[in-house]
């Protein structure tokens, strides 16, 4: 089973790119982030025409997450993280697909730091870790995939010294990521490529993609039953070179189930 995560940066503005990538790579499961569209504007028909069932949690203008499954409908198990009934952002959705539990997330950016947005990011991360503590114990394979908006180590940033005060690289945020890993999660991409410079995002500014001035912020975290079945983890970086593309590239893993 191939499971991908892709921050599309606008699911309607990006529809031709998304459909092209789906047709080309035919992943079994896809977590999408930054739909930037309300529920009623999710392009369900176009996605279904390619053979994908879908669930989504949209929001006007910002955020929004979805899970696609090739040849079946994801069985939704949760939308939104527990722990804050007043949280109005659409940033988490979860479903069971073919015996695997898949969580799709869009963690808050958190800039500027310090400030209320940064505080929200830390609170959201705490709620994720609380929920992940339950998921890590499941006997079934679990994958929590998405845009975590954190570069875990220096190796994941083209120029670490420029990012030290940024909300994506702040010590508190990196610490939260490692607190989550310490529950027993496996960072799939880094595990399969321990020494490589490997990025999932390149800024639209300053020809970042052609200079390979990138960040690794999109992650797939696996519980032990999933990690045991991990066979591959890659970035479809060429998609970042397409016309009218997202600033993120799709990232995927192969599980031998």
C-beta of 16: minimal distance to DNA in Å? 10
Give yes or no for a contact between 123 and 166, defined as CB atoms under 8 angstroms apart. Answer: no
Angle at 66 between CA 174 and CA 205, to 5 degrees: 55
Rank residues 74 and 108 by Cβ distance to DNA and give the closer one: 108
Catalytic residue among 106, 148, 158, 209: 106
**Which residue(s) pair with 248 in the sheet?**
201
199 counts as catalytic: no
Distances (CA, A) of 6 to 12, 105, 161, 204, 257: 14, 10, 27, 16, 22
39 lies in the site for DNA, by CB under 7 A: no
Q: Which stretch binds DNA (CB under 7 A): 10-18, 23-31, 127-135, 188-196?
A: 10-18
Q: Which of residues 125-154 bind DNA (CB under 7 A)?
A: 147, 149
> Judged by CB, which is closer to DNA: 12, or 153?
12
For the question of residue 49 being annotated catalytic, the response is no
Annotated active-site residue in 28, 52, 92, 147:
147
The burial class, CB within 10 Å (0-12 / 13-18 / 19+), for 236 is middle
Give dist(CA 2, CA 252) in Å, integer.
7
Q: 95: which 2 tokens?
A: 């479903």
Residues 47-86 that bind DNA (CB under 7 A): 60-62
Contacting residues toward DNA, per CB under 7 A:
7, 9-14, 34, 36-38, 60-62, 108-109, 111, 117, 147, 149, 168, 201, 203-206, 215, 217, 244, 247-248
């Amino acid at each position: 089973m191939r499971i991908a995560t892709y921050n599309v940066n606008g699911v309607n503005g990006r529809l031709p790119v998304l459909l092209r990538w789906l047709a080309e790579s035919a992943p079994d499961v896809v977590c999408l982030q930054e739909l930037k569209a309300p529920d009623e504007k999710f392009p369900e028909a176009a996605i279904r025409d390619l053979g994908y069932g879908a669930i989504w949690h949209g929001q006007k203008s910002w955020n929004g997450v979805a899970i696609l499954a090739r040849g079946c409908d994801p069985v939704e198990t949760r939308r939104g993280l527990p722990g804050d009934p007043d949280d109005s952002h659409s940033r988490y959705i979860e479903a069971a697909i073919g015996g695997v539990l898949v969580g799709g997330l869009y963690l808050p950016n958190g800039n500027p730091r310090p400030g209320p947005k940064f505080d929200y990011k830390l609170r959201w991360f705490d709620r994720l870790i609380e929920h992940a503590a339950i998921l890590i114990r499941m006997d079934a394979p679990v994958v929590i995939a998405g845009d975590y908006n954190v570069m875990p180590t220096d190796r994941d940033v083209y120029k670490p010294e420029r990012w030290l005060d940024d909300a994506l690289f702040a010590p508190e945020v990196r610490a939260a990521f490692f607190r989550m890993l310490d529950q027993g999660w496996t960072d799939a991409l880094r595990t399969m490529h321990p020494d490589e410079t490997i990025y999932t995002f390149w800024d639209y500014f300053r020809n970042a993609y052609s200079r390979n001035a990138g960040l690794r912020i999109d992650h797939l975290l696996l519980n032990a039953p999933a990690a045991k079945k991990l066979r591959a983890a890659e970035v479809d970086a060429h998609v970042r070179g397409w016309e009218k593309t997202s600033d993120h590239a799709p990232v995927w893993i192969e599980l031998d189930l």
